[in-house]
Amino acid sequence: MAEDVVTGMIPLDEPPLTFDPSKYVAQLRENWASESGDASYALLVRCFVLVSATTSRIKIVDTLVNCLRVLIESDPSSLLPAVWLATNSISPSYISLELGLGGSAISKALRQVCGLDNRSLKVIYDKYGDAGDVAFEAKKKQSFTLRKPKPLTIKGVYQSLVKIATSQGLAKLKKEELADIWSKSEEIVKASFARHPNYNDLIPALLQTGVSEELLVLCGLELHVPLRPMLGSITRDLSEMLTKLQGRDFACEFKYDGQRAQIHCDDKGKVSIFSRHLELMTDKYPDLVELVPRIRGEGVDSFVMEGEVVAVDRQTGELKNFQTLTNRARKDVALGDITIDVCMFSFDLMYLNGQPLLDRPFRERRELLKSLFIEVPHHFTWVKSLDASSSDSEPVLEFFKSATENKCEGIMVKILDNLTKIPDIRDTPDRALDTPQSKPRGRSKGKVNGEAEPEDQSAKTRRKPLLATYEPDKRLDSWLKVKKDYNASFDTLDLVPIAGWHGQGRKAKWWSPILMAVRNEESGALEGICKCISGFTDAFYRTNKEFYNDEGAEMGEAKNVRIQKPSFIEYSGPSPDVWFEPQEVWEMAYADITLSPTYTAAIGLVSDERGLSLRFPRFLRKRDDKGIDEASTNQFLAGLWRKQEASSRSSKNGEGRDIADDEEEI
């Protein structure tokens, strides 16, 4: 019998003279057996619920007495913790042992544990006021997407509270010092996992070395274990890119429209090929595997190389688009069955002859790549590149035009050299795409009207030098993406489809509009940003309805949909007809970003009450090369909005328009 059913049957508020605790001991012990016989916290909660429901002092005493009698007979070891919890304390008053948790910490915990957004939590606070009542109501609203967690025990809850209180030694440190201690340890673990993303190896290494620099050696880059790729920050145009990289030398590279690939080869000739999502795709590209012995130069025993696999015309070398590449079989491809030829455009070398190259500057890694590997026309080559500096605006513009004319998405721009010192790995925190918020870098030392320009010391200390090293799983300004404009007034975001409504008229049998979301990198939640009805073809609508198919939902036969809103989705607008199982990324264009009372995207980052939404969102394409963990983040969206507002103010166009009117149109 379920625990809550058993405890719900016990009449704890009955007069003690008629209440017989022995009747319930057997059932309770049976339920508690999975927790080593420890009494469940549900029993104490049941007692507290009954106590809070009455103002009668006699009833309150009777209920508490009966609860303690049950514990005495069924689990005496839980009696003392229950008494402390019932008295709202965890130690005698003469022993200084306090939790020291404020309201903000409790609210944050409730949001994370119960899957609530700020607005939903505020509604509960407004209704109940007391933090305990709020927590109780929030817990009742919690839904579980996976299996339910193990039930809490009375002893477990009490011991956890004592642990929190006894950690006061660290609590006495300044917040900044404490954050520094934790962040450095966190960065080491992150750096290790980015180089070697396998918990089977990471956890034993942690137990062996603890969190130290040795972890990066013991559990670092290894052949045939993919490392998480370095990512590029997005810039809106060449002007912004040149401003960010002022005073630095950089390389511009064609950003080919293909599939990013990581090729590993050991000294025995074994080859592994991984996607940007770290999926093994060696079987997909047997032609690349066969190519490896031909491209290895003299003295190359083992390597890890990165590049872009692009569909090409083998005779002419003409580049084909990504859609062509997607038509290639994905598994067990035989060389004789290949109908879509590919070329590997290499751009980085991360490992060579047993030595990681991650800490080497990009110029050096690139030189090794070009000098030690052999070009095979229309099969293997290097990305087309141009070395430049921020003063070379004209050559960079011409190179950018050449890239777009050659069917590329745009260009990648990469810092070539480090400054005087490469910062320690722990000093380069994983900055979620915050570049839109950063201010343009001014000239470090120059003259304005004949006078020396003072250095901005505050900016100097705030901003770390851009790195030319390879930083796995980081999105830094040392790599910048400049994509071709879809329209002078449009930008693009990579969004996740999370829900849909039945269409009207001709579209009644399809999903239209479709609710889109950005990703909250901190909480993992998906935050609603807009509904989209533009850019879809009838063929797309049909395919989309077949993929997100709600037919037979009541019988559990639906595909890729949910009947109820998942707890990890934050959206407070009108309820959709169906919730999608989030798994795709769609590239969307839009006119501009607006404040919205309906959508929760980036709420709290630009406004406490309103989120952000898109005006005139338009579907461009599915990003089959991206998973939802690579969708645009709320931080990035907030940065774009700030930049837009700054531009609007300079053009005297006023503040962002509220989305409410546009919602009526959709």
User: Cα separation of 592 and 653, whole Å?
Assistant: 13
Residues with Cβ within 8 Å of 369's Cβ and at least 6 positions away in sequence, in order, are: 305, 346, 347, 348, 349, 382
503 located within any domain? yes
pLDDT band of residue 56 (cuts 50, 70, 90) is: confident
Q: Are 346 and 373 in contact (CB under 8 A)?
A: yes
128 located within any domain? no
470 and 611 in a single domain? The answer is no
Last residue of a domain, one of 34, 64, 86: 86
Distances (CA, A) of 97 to 68, 78, 92, 100, 131: 24, 20, 8, 9, 20
Domain of 332, CATH number, reads 3.30.470.30
pLDDT band of residue 453 (cuts 50, 70, 90) is: very low
561 and 469 in a single domain? The answer is no
User: Cα separation of 569 and 520, whole Å?
Assistant: 10
262 and 344 in a single domain? The answer is yes
Structure tokens at 638: 């907030």
pLDDT band of residue 6 (cuts 50, 70, 90) is: confident
SS (H, E, C) 436-460: HHCCCCCCCCCEECCEECCCCHHHH
Q: Are 131 and 21 in contact (CB under 8 A)?
A: no
661 and 560 in a single domain? The answer is yes
659 and 532 in a single domain? The answer is yes
496 and 591 in a single domain? The answer is yes
- Give the mean pLDDT of 274-290: 94
As to burial, measured by CB atoms within 10 angstroms (0-12 exposed, 13-18 middle, 19+ buried), residue 631 is: buried
Which one of 255, 284, 474, 643 is the catalytic residue? 255
- Give the mean pLDDT of 443-447: 33
Domain of 584, CATH number, reads 2.40.50.140
* Residue span of the structural domain in which 20 resides: 3-86
DSSP 256: -
User: Cα separation of 649 and 181, whole Å?
Assistant: 41
pLDDT digits (tens, 9 = 90+) for 300-341: 999 999 999 999 999 999 999 887 898 888 888 998 889 999
pLDDT digits (tens, 9 = 90+) for 390-402: 888 889 999 999 9
Please determine, for residue 522, whether its predicted confidence score (pLDDT) is greater than 50.
yes
Please determine, for residue 168, whether its predicted confidence score (pLDDT) is greater than 80.
no
pLDDT band of residue 650 (cuts 50, 70, 90) is: low
- Give the mean pLDDT of 55-63: 91
255 and 295 in a single domain? The answer is yes
Q: Is 431 helix (H, G, I), strand (E, B) or coil?
A: coil
434 and 504 in a single domain? The answer is no
pLDDT digits (tens, 9 = 90+) for 350-372: 999 999 999 999 999 999 999 99
145 located within any domain? no
Q: Scan for tokens 């390389």, then name that residue.
A: 251
Count of domains observed in the chain: 4
User: Cα separation of 634 and 629, whole Å?
Assistant: 12
User: Cα separation of 245 and 443, whole Å?
Assistant: 11
Distances (CA, A) of 396 to 362, 453, 467: 19, 28, 21
What pLDDT, on a 0 to 100 scale, did the predictor assign at position 2?
A: 56
Task: Identify which has the larger pLDDT, 487 or 371.
Answer: 371
Q: What's phi and psi for 169, nearest 5 deg?
A: -60, -45
Percent of the chain exceeding pLDDT 70 equals 83
For strands 271-275 and 447-448, give the pairing: unpaired
Sheet holding 385-389, edge to edge: 231-235, 475-483, 410-415, 249-255, 385-389
Taking alpha carbons only, the member of 457, 463, 455, 410 closest to residue 434 is 463
236 and 209 in a single domain? The answer is no
Alpha helices in 10-130 (DSSP H): 22-32, 41-52, 57-74, 79-86, 103-114, 118-128
User: Cα separation of 280 and 331, whole Å?
Assistant: 10
- Give the mean pLDDT of 40-68: 91
pLDDT digits (tens, 9 = 90+) for 605-649: 998 888 999 988 889 999 988 899 999 999 999 999 998 888 766
Q: How many CB atoms lie within 10 A of CB 628?
A: 18
Side chain identity at 233, as an amino acid letter? S
pLDDT digits (tens, 9 = 90+) for 393-433: 889 999 999 998 888 989 999 999 998 654 444 343 333 33
Q: Are 337 and 285 in contact (CB under 8 A)?
A: no
Q: Where are the beta strands (DSSP E) in 503-575?
A: 511-519, 526-532, 561-562, 569-570
Q: Are 423 and 630 in contact (CB under 8 A)?
A: no
619 located within any domain? yes
Q: What's phi and psi for 542, nearest 5 deg?
A: -65, -50
255 counts as catalytic = yes
User: Cα separation of 568 and 517, whole Å?
Assistant: 11
What average pLDDT does the chain have? 83
59 located within any domain? yes
Q: Are 521 and 635 in contact (CB under 8 A)?
A: yes
- Give the mean pLDDT of 81-87: 91
Residues with Cβ within 8 Å of 135's Cβ and at least 6 positions away in sequence, in order, are: 106, 110
530 located within any domain? yes
- Taking the model in full, what pTM does it have? 0.55
Q: Are 243 and 490 in contact (CB under 8 A)?
A: no
647 and 532 in a single domain? The answer is yes
Side chain identity at 566, as an amino acid letter? P
394 and 502 in a single domain? The answer is no
495 and 427 in a single domain? The answer is no
Q: How many CB atoms lie within 10 A of CB 452?
A: 9
Task: Identify which has the larger pLDDT, 478 or 454.
Answer: 478
Distances (CA, A) of 305 to 31, 265, 368, 409, 642: 55, 9, 11, 22, 38
User: Cα separation of 423 and 421, whole Å?
Assistant: 6
What pLDDT, on a 0 to 100 scale, did the predictor assign at position 655?
A: 39
Q: Are 260 and 412 in contact (CB under 8 A)?
A: no
Percent of the chain exceeding pLDDT 90 equals 48
Mean pLDDT lowest for which of 134-138, 525-529, 591-595? 134-138
Side chain identity at 478, as an amino acid letter? S
User: Cα separation of 226 and 222, whole Å?
Assistant: 8
- Give the mean pLDDT of 15-25: 92
Last residue of a domain, one of 453, 483, 513: 483
134 located within any domain? no
Please determine, for residue 462, whether its predicted confidence score (pLDDT) is greater than 60.
no
pLDDT digits (tens, 9 = 90+) for 539-575: 999 999 999 998 865 555 678 898 889 889 999 889 9
Taking alpha carbons only, the member of 378, 239, 254 closest to residue 315 is 378
360 located within any domain? yes
Q: How many CB atoms lie within 10 A of CB 88?
A: 7
Please determine, for residue 442, whether its predicted confidence score (pLDDT) is greater than 60.
no
Q: What kind and span of H or E run contains 613?
A: strand 611-615
